[in-house]
């Protein structure tokens, strides 16, 4: 089946690195995604990784994919108070129609 699990809450100090973890079940997922949701807003695509990649870096964001363990992580370097939000991991699942299966979200709290 298709299921995505995330830890619910992470608190870090401004300037530290944040690492948000996710596990997924569908090994046939072609793409894995990270979305950010700020209060009262829709979801914003942060980055995505193709399943044949191990790592993707985009400025302060680093995505690591361990396909064997079906584990995905998002590292935010030099975390800022503006990074406080809910972060959702999502997988494309087996259908490859564009449907996304989301985790329940990780709330990132950044303390000054």
Partner 1 sequence: EAGVAQSPRYKIIEKRQSVAFWCNPISGHATLYWYQQILGQGPKLLIQFQNNGVVDDSQLPKDRFSAERLKGVDSTLKIQPAKLEDSAVYLCASSSSGGLNGYTFGSGTRLTVV
Residue ranges binding partner 1 (CB under 8 A): 4, 30-31, 33, 35, 40-45, 48, 88, 90, 92, 95-100, 102-105
Following DSSP, what letter does each residue of 31-87 receive, concatenated? EEEEEEE-TT--EEEEEEEETT-SEEEETTEEEEEETTTTEEEEEESS--GGG-EEE
The string over 83-111, giving b where at least 16 C-beta atoms fall within 10 Å of a residue's C-beta and e elsewhere, is bbbbbbbbbbbeeeeeebbebebbbbebe
Min dist. Cβ of residue 50 to partner 1 (A): 9
Nearer to partner 1 by C-beta: 39 or 112? 39
Nearer to partner 1 by C-beta: 6 or 18? 6
Nearer to partner 1 by C-beta: 17 or 44? 44
| Four-CA torsion 16, 35, 74, 33, nearest 10 degrees | -170
Min dist. Cβ of residue 103 to partner 1 (A): 5
Nearer to partner 1 by C-beta: 83 or 105? 105
Min dist. Cβ of residue 56 to partner 1 (A): 13
Min dist. Cβ of residue 26 to partner 1 (A): 14
């Amino acid at each position: 089946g298709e299921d995505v699990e995330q830890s619910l809450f992470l608190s870090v100090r401004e300037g530290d690195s944040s690492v948000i973890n996710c596990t997924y079940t569908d090994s046939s997922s072609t793409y894995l995604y990270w979305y950010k949701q700020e209060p009262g807003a829709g979801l914003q695509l942060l980055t995505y990784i193709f399943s044949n990649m191990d790592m993707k870096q985009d400025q302060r964001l680093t995505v690591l994919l361990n396909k064997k363990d079906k584990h995905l992580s998002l590292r935010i370097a030099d975390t800022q108070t503006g990074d406080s939000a809910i972060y959702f991991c999502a997988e494309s699942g087996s259908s490859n129609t564009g449907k996304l299966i989301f985790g329940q979200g990780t709330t990132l709290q950044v303390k000054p």
